[in-house]
Structure 1
């Protein structure tokens, strides 16, 4: 079995994913890190040197690889992964994958991303809190359709990662 964590950037997919993988004694994969290893470039470098189309093709290729793993795993997807092409359909159609949406409200995402803005190329250019909030609102509106197709939707607002993992363990039994 593989558990794919889905959600907006800053929703805790990597943090929760690592903790969940430890709890389950499963291997942990971060889709973006796997792409970076494959191409020996950061995601930012891939976007700037090769473009978004190249990145989305690489993302799809890596998604296929992770869906077809022969081992139990927890996988943290990129925030946009489920929203491109037929990626979400591919995830949903796999008998060995359960998709989990780590859902946060705009205010919580805004607080987290405001602190992490400089490390995130997609939002580092947004100069004001208002611009960042507008950016998040727009993306969540566009991506919600895909995120909400997840098999399990977990409200993570105001919850510590360890509590989220505990909640997930209860839901996965």
Structure 2
């Protein structure tokens, strides 16, 4: 690939951003879905003048917005149904961030679980704290799965757009 070929370079950079975004969903430090969508945006804005690119961007935007809405609505509804308060998730998030710096990589997960468990322990007592914590973890896993699926859908939309334009 010739580096003076700006369309090829833009496509390559956009593809890397989209791939890193998909991986970034699993690595919580990176804004995965946003990065994947930004790769498509970059490709549409700086690529060749083609109406097809704007259609691909519109479809990718709709997919990303729909996925983001479902990511927040579905697990949140499930948590409300089982009675897990937002304070437990907030404590899990704060201790997860602290844990990330105290114990690199695995500290995020350990801190998140510990934060939720401690809030539920003080709220519900020992016997009901762990089942409530498991519900919160299942909801967090569901949110991650929804975001991962959405980022993959954005990537697939871009690949089809790349092949068709």
Q: TM-score band, normalised by the shorter chain?
A: under 0.3
- Identify the structure with the greater helix proportion: 2
Q: Report the TM-score when normalising by structure 2.
A: 0.28
Higher relative contact order (CA 8 A, sep 6+): 1
- TM-score by length of structure 1 reads 0.27
